[in-house]
Amino acid sequence: MGDVAVGARSGHDGEDRGRPVGAAGPAPDGAMTSGSDSGPAGDGTAGRAGADGGGPGDSAPAAKKPRSFWKELPILIGIALVLALLIKTFLVQAFSIPSDSMQNTLQQGDRVLVDKLTPWFGSEPERGEVVVFHDPDNWLAGEPTPDPNALQTFLSWIGLMPSAEEKDLIKRVVGVGGDTVECKGTGPLKINGKALNEASYVYPGNTPCTDDDAGGQFKVKVPEGYIWVMGDHRQNSRDSRYNQGDANKGMVPVDEVVGRAVVIAWPVTRWSTLPVPDTFDQNLSARTAAVAPEGLALAGVLPIALWRRRRSRQGAE
């Protein structure tokens, strides 16, 4: 008689054994599991596999029990705190408006978000921007210091509330390094001899300049590395004008600028961005104002010089 073929064991048994017991949900992409297939049928090895201990009677290894949510919660909170600290330090920070000096652009109690990222790439404040800066030289002397509770201290530490220990101010940048800023009478405010139209942001009823002898009338040249700032509520803002007696002559060092306020985040009824007013789009450069007359003079003299040179050549011939 001919040889009798040994029956092959189905590979489905191996697939059932390879799947972890009690696994919940689909496996992650790239980590799919599959069972161990049996050897080829007809070679006499399938039947011996069961005898060697690889048969269906073997129990699969126990699946690892998922970590409890309450055990993972402290880890998640820790990660969230680290991310909040990184965001506060390098990206964006919330600040509360404590006074009326920036009305009506900002109201007392508003929360603004300040961009802290762009200064890390060398960006400096520009005219028309609303910026937050550290007190440059005791501008807040005599102002009451808030006494936060434990919760407020914690929220300020992770960046969800402003710190009571940091003495910061918020004003609008009017002049940058190299600018000449002046205000006479009741206005208008001028930068390098060019008048600003400030009706869109100066507090209604206020004049651009304050007619007093305490600093409301001024003409200053802003040094490089400094800015000149003013509040939008001109008659209710102790800004660069009224701090000209300090070490910086009323200027704010660029190094003391925290960042630009870009949006009012709270309350939701006040949500809006803080763009640069259109009046600052005009060419206010001090260099242009100084060089333009020289350029016009050169343009007028050049044709005459060429004409005289041509006449000299003709006479020589």
- Which residues belong to the active site? 101, 171
- Rounded-to-integer distance, Cα 310 and Cα 276, Å: 52
Buried b (16+ CB within 10 A) or exposed e, 30-63: eeeeeeeebeeeeeeebeeeeeeeeeeeeeeeee
Cβ–Cβ < 8 Å for 204, 104: yes
Say how many residues make up the chain.
317
pTM here is: 0.64
Q: What is the pLDDT along the chain (317 residues), one digit of tens a residue?
A: 444 343 444 444 444 444 444 444 443 333 333 343 444 444 444 444 444 444 455 555 566 667 676 777 777 777 776 766 666 656 788 888 989 999 999 999 999 999 988 877 778 999 999 999 999 999 988 776 666 667 766 766 665 565 555 689 999 999 999 999 999 999 899 999 999 999 999 999 999 999 898 889 999 999 999 999 999 999 999 999 999 999 999 999 999 999 999 999 989 999 999 999 999 999 998 764 444 444 444 455 556 656 566 666 665 55
CA 176 to chain centre: 21
Residues 6+ apart with CB under 8 A from 220: 175, 180, 181, 182, 228, 244, 249, 250
- Rounded-to-integer distance, Cα 126 and Cα 39, Å: 75
Q: Is 181 exposed, middle or buried (0-12, 13-18, 19+ CB in 10 A)?
A: buried
pLDDT at 234: 96
pLDDT at 155: 67
Torsion of Cα atoms, 255 then 256 then 258 then 264, to 10°: -130
228 strand-pairing partners: 175
What DSSP string describes 107-131? -TT-EEEEE-SGGGGT----TT-EE
- Rounded-to-integer distance, Cα 222 and Cα 179, Å: 5
- Of 182, 172, 152, the closest CA to residue 164 belongs to 152
pLDDT at 91: 75
Dihedral sign for Cα atoms in the order 129, 103, 165, 176: positive
